[in-house]
Each structure stands twice: as C-alpha cells, then as structure tokens.
Chains A and B, each alone.
Chain A
Amino acid sequence: MKAEQGEPFKLVIVGHVDHGKSTLVGRLLADTGSLPEGKLEQVKEFCEKNGRPFEYAFLLDALKDEQGQGITIDTARCFFKTQKRDYLIFDAPGHIEFLKNMISGAARAEAAVLVIDADEGIQENSKRHAYMLSLLGIRQVIVCVNKMDLAAYKQDVFENIRKDYGAFLSKIGISPVDYLPVSAMKGDNLVKPSENMKWYKGKNLLEALDSLRKEPPLEDAPLRIPVQDVYRFTENNDRRRIIAGRVESGTLRKGDEIILLPSGKSTRVKSIEEFNRPAHHPEEKVSAGYSTGFTLEEQIYVRRGEIVAKKGEKLPEVASTFEANVFWMGRSPLVEGKEYKLKLATSETPFKVKEIISVLDTTSLKNEKGKKIARHAAGKCVIECLKPIAFDLAENLQNTSRFVIVEDYDIVGGGIIVAKIDGSEYVQEKRMREEHWDKSMVSFEERAIRYGQKPLFIMITGKSGIDKKSIAWHLEKKLFTLGKKTYFLGIRNLLRGLNRDITDKNSREHIRRLAEVANFMVDAGLIVIATASDLSHEDFNMLRSIVDETLIITVDTQEDFSDLNLDSELPPEENAERIIKYLKFKGLIFSL
C-alpha cells in the first residue's frame, strides 16, 4: 500500500456518554503501537496505585477531572498512523453538557465514527450527535456497534441496531459508509478480524478507516479570500501594502482581475508575497488552503471582512438578510429581535433574528413552530444583519457559508446559510428615513461644490489618555484656515445638555446621539470633527449606519475599520497635517 502524503486525515469519534468512545480510541492507539513507550505501563501503574481497574480510556482522559468521573469532558486529540496514512483523532465527549466541546472537535473533522453501545442501543446523543454531524457538513460516517461482548457477540443485536439507526440516519441525509460490530475493551474487530464474531465478513475498523476518502482540494472552485488584515509595515523601508488572508477556495494568480465584496471595488493583483519562499511554492499563484498575501495594482481602500473573488467566476452573494440553519449552545435561548453578533469568515456584524421559522428537536427530529431556540437545540431562522455581507450558500461553498454567533463575550451558536433574502429591516429603516427626510432645495452636490469639500464626519479615536482632542482642534483650525466649513463637536458638550438624561456612562446611546447630531451637520455640508476613546466594532458599525460619510481615524492602534492611523508620538499639529493630506489625496477637500 502506498502511503498518502500531506496532512493527517482528521477523524472525530462521537456518540452517547459511556458508549465507549475513549476506550475505542485508547485501544486503537495501543493495538497499532501508537503510544509512547511506557505510557501504557504508566497508566496501569497509576490505576494500581489508586486501587481501580485499568481502562484504555484513561490513556486519553488524561485530565484529573475526567479520571475521577470516568467521562470525557473535552475533545482530546491524538495521532496515530496506519500503513496508508496519518490520522488525527478528536475524541469528543458524549455527555450532553459538553455538546459545545463535541462540536469543536467535529467541526474540524473530515469523517466521523459514531459509537453505539450494543447493550443500551440508540440513545439521545446517538441521534443528536448524528444530526450535528449532518449540520456541520460531515458526510462520511462509520457506525461502530460497540460492547458486542456484553451482547454475547450476537448477530441479531448488531443487525437490529443497524436497521433502526440506519432508518434514523437516512432521514437526516447521512448514509454511513460502514457498520461494524466491535468490542473496544476486548479488542474485537478493531485491527484484526474477531474470533468471536465469525458471522461478520466485513472490514475491521482499521480497514474501514483506511477506505475513507480524502476530500478533494478546492483549488478549482471559485476564488474566495476573506480579507484578514491589511499590512503596511514600514521598517527597513518596506513600501508594500499587503492584503492578507487565507485562500478558502480557488486559485489566485498574479495579474488576476479581482473584485472585493460587499464593497464591489475591483483591481488587479500586482504580486503574491511570501517571506522566505520555499522552492515548491510558485511565485505567480497560490491555491486553496494557504495563508497568503498580495499587493494590488491600484491603492484602493480595502477593509477586513470583505471577500476577494475573481471576475469571470461565480461571485459570492451579497445581502443583509438570509435564511440559515442554526444550532444553539448558549445558556439563554436564541430569541427573535435581540441583537447578537455574527462572525462569518473574517467579517463581523451585529444582527437580529427576524423570524424563527421552525425549531427542531434534535432527538425526535420533529419540527415545531416556536419563538426561541433553546440550548442544545437547532432550528431554521431568518437573520438580518445591520449591513450587507458577502457569503455563499452552503450547497455551493461550505467555508464561506458558515458563521458563528457571539453573545456578550462568547460563541454561543453556529449555522450555515441556506438561502438569500432581499430587503432588510435596518436597511429599510434607513431607506425610510431617507425617504421621509425633508430635503431643501439645495442639493448635496451643490453644497459640496460651493464649499470645496465633501461633507464628512471625522471620528478620531484611540485609547483613553492619548490626546486626541488637540489633534481635533488643530485639524479644525487648519481646515478653517484653508477656508473650509468645519466644526469641532465636543462630546463633553453633549454630556451636560442633550445627553443629560443618560445615567449609564458607558451607554452606546451617547454615541448614537453624537452621530445623530453629526448627521444634521453633515447634511448641512460641514466637516464635523469629534473624538472618542475605546470604541468597539459595534460602535463603529452604528456610526457608519447613521452617517454614511463617516471617516474613522485612529491614534496608535491599527484597527481594521480605521481609514487612517496616526502616531501619538508626533506633535498634534503634524498629525492634523497628515489628516489634511489624506483628505486632499482622497479628493474629500479640493480647491475650485
């Protein structure tokens, strides 16, 4: 057999608690000689010292809590190799409390082994885990009917489970590549045929694993590179401006005409960059899987979260509303109308669940109408983002169809996008506002031409303690001297007046009102300057959703939402001058 090259085959072991997943993996490691010398003896000795029978599971359940309770808490990973290839195994916990750990392991796997206790039969998590596998997009599944020794190695026990479980799995679109009767503890049918089950003529576990397919690489699929960051390191006179990201699918070539979505900007690729490039990495192209970087022909403004695609290929969808299948791990349920954060590839945006279409009981597979999705449940819902994002549908490209949901500081859910829906509430709100806005007879363009400036809201931000206000004052003065119509809007001036009723110092309402006031002044054609400390991504998203013409300038931090970065080491006049240069360069202020 020719050994496979490349990265290890990633496998997850799932199933109900106590059905013997860790024992199966431990035994597999021991029987294939994959354990370090002395490890087996060490664990055996440990068991003896502590007066308890040796179990193969202890090899994996290396953590104290787990040995104490005899259950796997977290996904342990371990390596083993066959003559065919290397494997990386995630042993996932079967206890319901640790579903999020199971998902963490399973989300990285290319195939799964589902373990079922021959004696206990199909249990709650046998079903729930299988459903999660289907939602996570894992199609290759091997079912191991374990503990056959406890069922006297009887063929009918095995066949019954195979029949019942097969019926369930087919409902969720999983057709297992194999069913195997095994006993992990006794070593039956793992690495060699079992003497105790002569009626079984199929593969043993090792053979079944080796016959799993490796998914083909996505080099020929449409190009997707979510922008992870934009680098401009100036040390050693480096003048490159490098767009960094991982190629999720497709191939990028030097000279390609690319398009960035959702912004829709396009340009050509000037060079593909790599430090200390190994001989086998070509200079002119880079394909799916690599973390890369490239420079552009034109210096267009690029921000994190956009997806790079190629002209002439199928482009990602762009929308703010879509339908998704989600699973939930949060302590409090997913509810309609509440604001959460969505992370898809490198983009982040606030969103609300507009409608929960159906709630799925992950064990009975019954669809029910409901207003919330509880912990460990799943469902289908309509998600509405604050701004449009680029994505793919799960049936087309998996990597850019998957997202997670963040509440407070934690990832509490995940999902895949299954359909695009047009028209969003946020967008509608904004459109409504624009529709109902009392416009005067002086147009935006007329004002811009008269004043020699595009109206702008310039927000200077950075950590508290950095003197941003001086920069703002100097900027106002310089603009004024240039004959521009400008105003410094001090947030302190709002606190004692307009915002007097807000008692919570950290409320986002402060920012909202600041933006609303700025919005009027921008509508009047002015360049409005404000400062604020430590704003979050959500704050910026909100600013931009209220005032279209928001320009974010950061001091001492390289944030992805920043249009220009300043250095507080420089005197404020100089920083203000840099902003002026930037405005001129961008054509935001001009002489007539």
Chain B
Amino acid sequence: MDRLDSLEAQSIYIIREAYNRFKNLVMLWSVGKDSTVLLWLMKKAFFGHAPIPLLHIDTGFKIPEMIKYRDKLAMELGLTMLVGQNEEALRKKETFPDGKLTRVQCCMALKTIALRKTLSGEWPRKKLNLKTGKYEEDPSREPFTGVIVGVRADEEGSRSKERYFSPRDKESNWDVADQPPELWNQFKTDFAPGTHIRIHPLLDWTELDIWEYIKRENIPVVSLYFDNGKGLRYRSLGCQPCTKPIESNAKNVDDIIEELRTGKLANIAERAGRDQDKEDGNSLETLRREGYM
C-alpha cells in the first residue's frame, strides 16, 4: 500500500460514512484541483457513480474558464450540479471590485454568507438541467445537514486543526476550542437540529499528493493550472480580482509535480497568490470561524 493508496482509502471511507449517515448531504465544488480530486474520490467510493449533489458558490467574479469547465464536466459526468450566489450584493454592486468593500469583507459577502444562506435553503439554489444544459431554480430548499469540503491540513495554520467531521452551529460558526473527539475512525455523525456537520475527506493530503493523484487517476483539471504560454500559471484558483498567477513554465501535470518536488515552489506558501489572506494577520481563520471553507 503506497502513500496515495492509504490517503485514498481513508478519504473513501469518510465519504462513504458521510453518505450513509446524512440524509441531506452536499459536496462543495470550487472547481479547483482539490475539490475536483474530491469529486473523483466520490466516483471511486461509489464505483463510478456520483450520488452526492455538488454545490458551487459562484461569486460572479470567478475566472470565466472555471465556469465553462464546471458545466462541461458536470454534463459529462452527469452530476447533480447546484449553484448558489449572493445575487443581492452583486446587484447592488456591494463588492471589493466595485470599490465598496475590503477584500475580506467581500469574501464574507460573496462566499461565506452566500454559502451559509444556500446551505440553509434561505436563498434559492440553481440546478443544472442535464437535458438542456441550462440552470433552473431548484424547487427543494431543504437545509443540508452534511457538507463535504475539500480543505487540507497543510494549507494554512487553522486548517491543521480541523477534524474529519466538524460540527457547525446554526450560524455556521466553528467552535475551535470545543471540538468533538475523533478516534478510531468514529466520527461525529449525530447532531442537534439546526446544526450541520462539515466533512473533510482531504485533511491529510498535501499539495503534492493532490497532483500525484491527478496524474495516477488521469483526472481532468482546469487548464488555468498550466503555463498559458506567457510563463504564468495559477497555483490556487479563486476570484479574478484577488488571485494572481505565479511565474512557472509547468505545462502539464508532470511538470507541476516536478516543480513541487524539486523545491522550486516548496518554500512558497500555496495561497501566496490569494490577496485576501494578507489583509490582517489571521484573516483566513477569521473567515473560517464564520463558516468560510
């Protein structure tokens, strides 16, 4: 059993456990490499099937190629694809790119709040019609009680403290100081009404593991991760105004693995291109306590 085998086995176990224990389960798909691996692991867990619906929180500022790729893959794999959005903030132009909010406030409005309201069913969800390829309002507003998220422990300090199954209260808040015990692969699957559980199958994976697994399984990823011909590629994907590409000539998955292994990138934080992290010392942790992914 090699490293990828054991990471895969644990992730699959967690996904299956979530599927068995939660009636209203959803998987967040940011269209980035991590959550795309997560989506693939769902297919591995269910022998080629994808029974868990996917939810994308569309800020309206995503790099257009991401949206195109999302819908293409959803159609190809026959996914139950849901999309949530803070339509009001976008309509009133209360965002960072419109100059009304700081980056962190903008993340809070377009991602954190949009996610919270979409999960709870307070705001409508759009669902991809696999016959027409168009999005329609989903009649179901049932709150999701289990939310599978592709965070990794090595990304950043606060994420290193997550459990595989992590409870959130009614306001989606994360009580870091009082987390449930988690031992012997027994997870917190019982929860009070109104609360929900975040499930993290990728916690033990590193960035390099992700790319090696993408190679092993031949998983389709969005081409923004590769050198666009100008010596630039994205290492981490987000909203266009707040995400910068890095200098790199990596043109394919092998090149990226080489780049991560040989240490050219080993000493630069993965989220270095994400500007919202820099505004205050602990912004990602602040966002995460409020329910950010």
Contact = CB atoms under 8 A, between A and B. Distances in A.
B44 A275 contact: yes
B78 interface: yes
Interface in A398-419: 399, 402-404, 406, 408-411, 414
A145 to B, nearest CB: 27
A37 B268 CA distance: 6
B269 A36 contact: yes
A240 B13 contact: no
A133 to B, nearest CB: 13
A404 B185 CA distance: 10
Interface stretch (B16-24, B31-39, B118-126, B222-230): B16-24
Interface stretch (A99-107, A385-393, A439-447): A99-107
B102 interface: no
A27 to B, nearest CB: 17
Contacts of A6: 1-3, 6
Q: Which of B48, B49, B181 has the most CB of A within 10 A?
A: B181
Contacts of B20: 228-229, 304, 560
A379 interface: no
Contacts of B10: 291
Contacts of B7: 7
B191 A409 contact: yes
Given A233-B46, A275-B47, A291 B181 contact: no
B71 interface: no
Contacts of B5: 289-290
B13 A100 contact: no
A116 B260 CA distance: 37
Contact-residue bracket for chain A: 35 or more
B9 A64 contact: no
B154 interface: yes
Given A8-B3, A273-B47, A77 B153 contact: yes
B183 A103 contact: yes
B157 interface: yes
Nearest to B21: A560
Interface residues of B, number: 58
Contacts of A291: 8-10, 12-13, 16, 45
Contacts of B6: 6-7, 289
Interface in B188-204: 188, 190-192, 204
Contact of B158 (A7, A63, A246, A463): A63
28 contacts: A6-B2, A8-B3, A36-B266, A38-B269, A46-B281, A62-B161, A74-B161, A78-B154, A86-B3, A100-B181, A104-B181, A104-B183, A228-B13, A229-B19, A240-B47, A274-B44, A274-B47, A275-B46, A276-B48, A287-B1, A291-B12, A291-B45, A402-B184, A403-B184, A408-B190, A410-B190, A411-B180, A411-B181
Leading 9 A-B pairs by shortest Cβ distance:
A62-B157, A37-B267, A107-B183, A100-B181, A291-B12, A233-B49, A7-B6, A409-B190, A404-B186
Interface of A: 5-8, 36-39, 46, 60, 62-65, 73-79, 86, 88, 100-101, 103-104, 107-108, 136, 217, 228-229, 231, 233, 235, 238, 240, 242, 244, 246, 273-276, 278, 280, 287, 289-291, 293, 304, 329, 341, 343, 399, 402-404, 406, 408-411, 414, 463, 557, 560
